[in-house]
Amino acid sequence: MATIRSVSMIGLGYIGLPTATVIASRGIKVYGVDVHQHVVDTINRGEIHIIEPDLDQLVHQVVKDGFMVANTVPQPADAFMIAVPTPFKNDHEPDLAYVEAAARSIAPVLAAGNLVVLESTSPVGATEQLSAWLAELRPDLKFPHQAGEQADVHLAYCPERVLPGHILRELISNDRIIGGMTVKGAELAAQLYGTFVQGACLKTDARTAEMAKLTENAFRDVNIAFANELSLICDRLKINVWELIRLANHHPRVNILQPGPGVGGHCIAVDPWFIVDSAPNEARLIRTAREVNDGKPGYVVTKVKEAARDLQSPVIACLGLAFKANIDDLRESPSVEIVRRLAADGVGKILAVEPHVDALPAELSDKGVELADVASALERANIVLLLVDHDQFKTILWMTLQDKTIIDTRGIVR
């Protein structure tokens, strides 16, 4: 089997850039590709455009050593990895437009013997669709859905399963699912991932790998929904939900997760809908969990409005915008949605505190939301809404804020 000496990474975001960098650190030539020129220029200076611990040092090193270079168009390589967004369109219908665009970008430089790996979280059948798109664009080559093991170009689906803030470590240590459209495709992909993965490379078919990724995040979503539903019930019954969960979790077979203001990020808030879209009549529990979690931001907004009714000039300090603690990622963040709704409804003056960003997204700044530091926001506010359990917020002396209304969605105010 041919050795993979070069890789073209399509998409240099939160997953693509760390993955490309780790591969380059193994002495494999990596051609990074991104449609944004400023991303390309930043990386080619040996710098990064996202926040991830230790990534800046590693990018600087592999660029300096000549193992990674970025461009806006793909270069010929032995393997192509696609890590582009897969958002919604219409009513939670998967949108594969970015994957199709990636297929169109790599098709001109594909050659017999190449491996194409889709990493983007995708609905079941997406890898087969990618194969079909490439076949339309390159009729001179044979693809797995046409020729099986005799294909000229091999395809596999290998989903990422890393935790933001720990990506470099988990890229190496976590087990990986390797879903080939053919046995040879799985073997080639396992060889590629084996260059940097210390965990097990678990080979299967592409459709099972696609469903495995969705299943992992749907499992977490359902369990978070249980915790969030508990928080609504406890609020009604005047019970401290965090105390309840702490006690219940002393049962040897009970492990309830922590509730919050909703569910965010590019995975858990999105992936379960892909299952619902593919099997709408069967995915009843998964759909309900999504509805519970998607409904939590509205519940938090209602709580703030109730508190604001008693104030002549409400000033609301919203602590945290990221979708989870200690990162800068605002994608699908329930906190952003809550702040957006409060501003749109004119509830009061909104001060957003997010220590990991330098500027607010336009959807907030355009509505008059002000980015503030913790100290000034707490001094000016008469309502404090804790949305994200950043470490910085855990050091706040909450006892000194007894003259303010505190709404804690994370259970850190004791």
Give the active site residues.
213, 267
Amino acid identity at 92: H
DSSP string, 172-223: HHS-EEEEESSHHHHHHHHHHHTTT--S-EEEEEHHHHHHHHHHHHHHHHHH
CA proximity to 205, closest of 100, 109, 131: 131
How many whole angstroms separate alpha carbon 310 and alpha carbon 313?
9
User: Strand, helix or coil at 8?
Assistant: strand
How many whole angstroms separate alpha carbon 179 and alpha carbon 203?
6
How many whole angstroms separate alpha carbon 202 and alpha carbon 194?
11
Contact between 355 and 392 (Cβ < 8 Å): yes
CA proximity to 363, closest of 386, 390, 331, 323: 331
Is residue 33 exposed (0-12), middle (13-18) or buried (19+ Cβ within 10 Å)? buried
Per the rule left: phi > 0, alpha: psi between -120 and 50, beta: everything else, 282 is: alpha
Q: Phi and psi (nearest 5°) for 177? A: -90, 125
> What is the DSSP code (8-state) at residue 153?
S
How many other C-beta atoms lie within 10 A of the C-beta of residue 227?
18
Taking the alpha carbons at both ends of the chain, their separation in whole angstroms is 60
Structure tokens at 159: 């989903």
Structure tokens at 395: 């050091």
Alpha-carbon distances, residue 211 vs 93, 283, 323 (angstroms): 16, 13, 24
Per the rule left: phi > 0, alpha: psi between -120 and 50, beta: everything else, 92 is: left
Q: How far is CA 147 from the centre of its chain?
A: 34
How many whole angstroms separate alpha carbon 222 and alpha carbon 286?
6
